[in-house]
Amino acid sequence: MAPSATVGNALEVDVSIDTPVQACKVYPAKRISQEVEFTDTDSVYDESYENGRRYHAYHEGAYILPNDKEEQDRMDIWHHIYLLLLRGELCLAPVRNPRRVLDLGTGTGIWAIQFAKVPPNCTFEIDDFETEWLYKTKFDYIHGRELEGCVADVERLFQQAFEHLNSGGYFEFDGAYARYCSDDGTDKKAKHLHLLTKYLSLAGVKFGKSVEKTLSWKDAMKKAGFVDVKESVVKVVLPTSSAL
């Protein structure tokens, strides 16, 4: 099963509720054989700077957005918006007492920490979720949010999620449609806003990770083998502005 919102890189979070650790710590993931081992190396914490913004250096270029304070604040604002959209809920999937949860592209980790109830139940791994997953233990729930423009091969990602879920588990992938719409056609007046989204879309294609794949996610889930796939569409209202 895979109820999803309208629409799941460097950063993943494994919420292991059944095996709590003593502290919430970030681990760089080192792949050895068919299991994931962890070593503390400085290279995964390296950063690069461009045009006054800070970016990741581990697998440099795999993720298009910055990771500085300004971007972290934006991510946390989006988390709050989702709480409003979902009426205080952290997810749409009807999960009940999951013991192993994976949050893809966790960002600041705010969703994962809240879902795990307390930080000791939450560990962070620095890795690229578009590479092969080597987890030996499957998950009850896999979650991804706001990853438009972060995934080159959606079908492969969804297939890996399917293969790493326990029977009866859930996969949820939430994201925004990268176009602005209106019920009465007034969005056509926002010419500059539409021009911005046009060039963002072109940039995503050039980067190799489209921001406009959300409408294909439902079919991609079915192709991966998920059943009872549900799609929920909600509106995010923007404030009016003559500058748009």
> Residue 86's pLDDT is what?
93
Domains and their CATH numbers in the chain: 92-224 (3.40.50.150)
**For residue 5, what are the β-bridge partners?**
232
Taking only the tens place, the pLDDT of each residue in 70-99 is 999 999 999 999 999 999 999 999 998 899
**For residue 168, what are the β-bridge partners?**
none
- Cα separation, 126 vs 208, whole angstroms: 22
For the ranges 28-42, 138-152, 160-174, the lowest mean pLDDT is seen at: 28-42
The label of the residue with tokens 């294909």 reads 216
